[in-house]
Amino acid sequence: MRRVLALFLLLIPLLVCQEVSPADRARQIVEWLLAGEYEQIHAALAGEAKIRLTLDTLRNQVGTAVKQLGKPESIGQPELRKSGNFDVAVVPVKFASMGINVVVTMDAQGKVRGLFLRPQDAAAAWQRPSYSNPESFVEREVTVGSDEWKLPGTLTLPKGAGPWPGVVLVHGSGPLDRDETVGAHKPFRDLAEGLASRGIAVLRYEKRTRQYAPRIAAMQDFTVQQETVEDAVRAAELLRSLPEIDSKRIFILGHSLGGYLMPRILARAPWVAGVIVMAGNTRPLATLIVEQAEYLASLDPSNEAARQQAEKLKEAAQQIRAVEEGKSDARSVMGMPASYIRDLKGYDPAAEMRKLKVPALFLQGERDYQVRMADFERWKQTLQGRTDVSFKSYPKLNHLFTAGEGKSTPAEYQKPGHVDQQVIEDIAAWIRSRSAAM
C-alpha cells in the first residue's frame, strides 16, 4: 500500500529518546527507525516513553507501517526549535510515494522523550478553491484560552457590520494544525474561506496535541477531555464573546473524532444554536482500526506487509478491549494511554446525542473508508423522528469530503483537492435556516 501509514499518521502519536547534539541524536533515531534497529531505539527510551512504546510495538506496528512506504530516498537536515525546556527536532524523510516528518523531542539531559510521525505539510500544493472570495472576508489571529494550554487560532470574518453567525471547527484524530492539514488537503481552511464568503464567521485553532506535544506525551491521565473537548468549548465561548459575532448564533462543526465527541462537547456548551457532524463515527475506535486496516489490505491482496499489518491491528484491537474491561494492566496501546482507552468505554455518541435537544446536521461521504456509511446510518436510526436533525450523504466524496471515483485510497490525500462546494453550500444554507428559525 502506498499509504497504510496514513492510519498511524492520523490516529497515533508515537512516543519515544540522547547523547550527542539534539540534531545529531534526532538523525540517529531516524536512521535506526529506517534500518529496523528497534532494539537500539528501545534502549534509548526513558520514563513513560519506554513503557508506552514497547519493542513489540516498535517492530510490529511502527516498523511494519514505515516499511510499507518503500525505500527512503533521502533524509533531510533536522530543523530545531524549543518547546519549553525541550528541544524539538523535525527530520524530513522522503519516500517515493510521500514525505513524512519525524519529530524527535529531547529534554535538557539529552533523553529522547517523544517520537512523532507526521505527514509533511503540502502548503505549496494548496490553492484557494473557486468558491472562496477573499475580497469578502478578513482574517485575524486570536488566542483560545488564557492558561497553560492556550492555543493560537485564526478567525475568518466576513466584511461588513455584522453581527455574524459563527462556527467553531473541531479536528479529527491526530496532532493536527488549524487547517486540519492532511497531505495536500486543508479542509478546515476550505471550510473557513468558503463559509466566510457566504456571511458566516469561522474560528479554527491549533490542536492541543500538536501545540504541546512533549507535555501531552508525558501525561499519564490523558483523555479526550484534554485532547478535544475542553478546547472546543473554550473556542465556542471565545467566539460568542466577540462583538462582531451574534452570541445567539454560535455553531460547532466536528469532523471525524470531533464529530464522535460532539455529545461531550455539547454537554459543556448546551447553549449553542446547533452542530454539524462531518464523518463522525458512532462505533468504537477498536472497530474502526481493524476495519480500516482490512480495507487497505484488500486494495492490493498481493501486498503481504499490508496483510500482516491488518493482523497486528486485530491484536491491538483485542488489547484495547482488554484494557477497557480491566483484563490488562497495559499502560498504553498503540500510543493511547490506558486512561484514554478506559474513558471511552461504553461511550455511545448516537445515544448520547439523542438526549441533547440541539439542532444538528450530519454529513457523510459515501466513499469514506475511515468512517463508514454504517456509522452514518446509526446516527439516522438513533435520531429518527427528530424534526430538528438533518442528514445528507454524498456518493463521490471521501473522508475529507473531496470528490473522486472508485474506491477511496490514502493516495487521494496526496493529490491537491478541496472540500466539495456542495458541502459548503449545504452547511451555509443549514446555518441560515437555523438562524431564520430563531
Return d(Cα 349, Cα 378) in angstroms, integer.
Answer: 10
User: Which one is catalytic: 368, 408, 418, 435?
Assistant: 368
* Cα four-point dihedral sign 48, 54, 58, 62: negative
Return d(Cα 91, Cα 73) in angstroms, integer.
Answer: 13
Q: Which of 398, 406, 349, 407 is nearest to 378 (CA)?
A: 349
130 is catalytic: no
Query: Backbone dihedral region of 297: left (phi > 0), alpha (psi from -120 to 50 degrees) or beta?
Result: alpha
399 is catalytic: yes
User: Which one is catalytic: 399, 418, 420, 435?
Assistant: 399
Task: Calculate ∠ Cα 261-152-349, nearest 5°.
Answer: 0
Read off φ and ψ for residue 168, nearest 5 degrees.
-100, 135
Cite the DSSP H helix spans in 146-226. 187-196, 208-211, 213-218, 224
Q: Where are the beta strands (DSSP E) in 84-136?
A: 86-95, 99-106, 112-119
User: Which one is catalytic: 132, 197, 256, 408?
Assistant: 256
Residue 346 vs residues 141, 263, 284, 355: alpha-carbon distances, Å: 38, 14, 9, 16
Q: Which of 92, 67, 93, 91 is nearest to 3 (CA)?
A: 67
Decide: helix, strand or coil at residue 29.
helix
Answer yes or no: are the C-beta atoms of 16 and 114 closer than 8 Å.
yes
- DSSP for 345-409, please give it: TT--HHHHHHHS---EEEEEETT-SSS-HHHHHHHHHHHTT-TTEEEEEETTB-TTS-B-SSS--
- In this structure, the number of other CB atoms found within 10 A of the CB of residue 83 comes to 14
368 is catalytic: yes
Q: Which residues are catalytic?
A: 256, 368, 399
